[in-house]
């Protein structure tokens, strides 16, 4: 399996994440991908290439124009306003406030376009987010060109980003770009399987009313886990998309038994849907030692999960999402890929 990866990810490395009332070094840090690259090489998966320039037309088709303008210019506006630190959202349009009017002031704009305040932005964030999207797009082009599968080693991740909001360490929804590209290239129906510990709220939101794209997510129950306000089992889609969203929220302490049962159900739903291509949002934060998650998967479980995903027999793009037990991220992510290939 070929890997698509851009060194430009390094341009996104904020110093700060707001966590538990303190600023900590972000869990989502550049060294995460070093462990994935090292493990790929260790396992002989040395076909690793840089993507070309991002397909901006496809990104513009996915995202709101004002949101992309914001991402591109936020740092300059933040600095022009005299802000000393990194961009952190502090003000949100909460219940019964005007959630549809972007403020002129950058501090207000940041809150308008953010869905959480843990994620800081800096001067390099836009370039890094574009390079991550470019990796996803290149992986999809490789599979559309006839390869059975490809791995987009995306950083920053994407599944929390909606068409017009960032947060949860995500800015552009890479998996959504891949799904739309598969549709454009001729797949009638596409499925997205999100196995990151956190609910893929952004991906769900983007495709909630779509009958041609199935979204399934296995995640920590929203009552207990970020993003808290989406990912309930009774969210099943709307309009033409009724029945094309499947959420599997699970409780703290969930191990591979119930998790893999949910995976099997999601796989059966994807098969019944008649998907012609598959996108896997490959987060490995369901791992037992992940510092911000509460599932109990062990490293071999990820290989078995990959094997089960492979039974679908679909052209597949894996997009890297979360995983913060840094030294284990490489083994766990590559285990999924190896299990899939078996």
Which region among 76-84, 115-123, 188-196, 326-334 touches Zn ion (by CB under 5 A)? 188-196
- Give the one residue of 14, 202, 283, 339 binding Zn ion; rule: CB under 5 A: 283
Verify whether residue 199 is a known catalytic residue: no
Count CB-CB contacts under 10 A for residue 149.
Answer: 21
- Give the one residue of 35, 112, 171, 197 binding Zn ion; rule: CB under 5 A: 197
Which region among 23-31, 192-200, 253-261, 265-273 touches Zn ion (by CB under 5 A)? 192-200
Q: Enumerate residues 205-244 that contact Zn ion by CB under 5 A.
A: none
Compute the C-alpha angle 256/260/261, nearest 5°.
120
Could you list the residues that contact ligand SP5 (CB under 6 A)? 19-20, 118, 157, 160, 168-170, 196, 198, 226, 283, 285, 291-292, 321-322
- Give the one residue of 17, 180, 196, 338 binding Zn ion; rule: CB under 5 A: 196
Residue 170's φ and ψ, nearest 5 degrees, are -115, 150
Out of Zn ion, ligand SP5, none, what residue 109 binds, judged by CB under 5 to 8 A for its kind, is none
Reading the block at residue 226, the tokens are: 């970020």
190-194/213-220 β-pairing = parallel
209-213 CB contacts, 8 Å cutoff, 24+ apart: 209/237, 209/238, 209/239, 209/240, 209/241, 210/240, 210/241, 210/244, 211/240, 211/241, 211/244, 212/183, 212/188, 213/179, 213/183, 213/189, 213/241, 213/244
Cβ proximity to ligand SP5, 142 vs 198, nearer residue: 198
Count CB-CB contacts under 10 A for residue 272.
Answer: 9
The catalytic residue among 160, 198, 199, 219 is: 160
Cβ proximity to ligand SP5, 137 vs 281, nearer residue: 281
Out of ligand SP5, Zn ion, none, what residue 292 binds, judged by CB under 5 to 8 A for its kind, is ligand SP5
- Which residue, judged by CB position, is nearest to ligand SP5 in the bound state? 322
Cβ proximity to ligand SP5, 11 vs 160, nearer residue: 160
Q: Enumerate residues 296-325 that contact Zn ion by CB under 5 A.
A: 322
What is 115-175 written as a DSSP string? S-SS--B-TTHHHHHHHHHHHHHHHHHHHHTT-SEEEE--SS--TT--SS-BBTTBSS-HH
- Helix residue ranges per DSSP H, 185-315: 201-207, 256-273, 299-310
Residue 229's φ and ψ, nearest 5 degrees, are -115, 15
Cβ proximity to ligand SP5, 83 vs 292, nearer residue: 292
Cβ proximity to ligand SP5, 136 vs 312, nearer residue: 136
Cβ proximity to ligand SP5, 8 vs 118, nearer residue: 118
Out of Zn ion, ligand SP5, none, what residue 155 binds, judged by CB under 5 to 8 A for its kind, is none
d(C-alpha 309, C-alpha 303), whole Å: 10
Q: How far apart are the first and last CA of the chain?
A: 12
# of chain residues touching Zn ion (CB under 5 A): 6
The residues assigned a catalytic role are: 160
List of residues contacting Zn ion (CB under 5 A) = 196-198, 283, 285, 322
């Amino acid at each position: 399996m070929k890997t698509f990866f851009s060194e430009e990810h390094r341009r996104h490395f904020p110093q700060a994440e707001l966590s538990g009332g303190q600023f900590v070094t972000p869990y989502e840090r550049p060294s995460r991908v070093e462990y994935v690259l090292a493990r790929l090489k260790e396992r002989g998966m040395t076909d690793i290439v840089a993507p070309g320039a991002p397909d901006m037309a496809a990104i513009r088709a996915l995202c709101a124009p004002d949101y992309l303008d914001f991402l591109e210019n936020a740092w300059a506006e933040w600095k022009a306003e005299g802000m000393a630190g990194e961009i952190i959202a502090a003000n949100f349009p909460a219940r019964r406030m005007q959630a549809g009017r972007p403020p002129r002031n950058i501090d207000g704009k940041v809150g308008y376009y953010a869905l959480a305040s843990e994620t800081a932005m800096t001067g390099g964030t836009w370039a890094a987010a574009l390079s991550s999207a470019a990796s996803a797009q290149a992986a999809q082009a490789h599979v559309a060109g006839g390869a059975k599968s490809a791995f987009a080693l995306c950083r920053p991740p994407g599944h929390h980003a909606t068409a017009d909001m960032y947060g949860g360490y995500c800015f552009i929804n890479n998996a959504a770009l891949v799904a739309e590209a598969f549709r454009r290239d001729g797949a009638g129906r596409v499925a997205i399987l999100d196995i990151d510990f956190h609910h893929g709220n952004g991906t769900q939101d983007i495709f909630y009313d779509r009958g041609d794209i199935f979204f399934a997510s296995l995640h920590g129950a929203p009552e207990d886990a970020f993003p808290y306000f989406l990912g309930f089992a009774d969210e099943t889609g709307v309009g033409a998309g009724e029945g094309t969203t499947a959420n599997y929220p699970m409780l703290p302490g969930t191990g591979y038994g119930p998790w893999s049962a949910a995976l099997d159900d999601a796989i059966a739903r994807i098969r019944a849907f008649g998907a012609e291509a598959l996108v896997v949002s490959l987060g490995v934060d369901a791992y037992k030692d992940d510092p911000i998650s509460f599932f109990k998967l062990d490293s071999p479980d990820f290989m078995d999960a990959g094997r089960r995903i492979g039974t679908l027999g679909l052209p597949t793009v894996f997009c890297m999402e979360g995983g913060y037990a840094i030294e284990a991220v490489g083994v766990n992510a590559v285990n999924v890929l190896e299990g899939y290939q078996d």
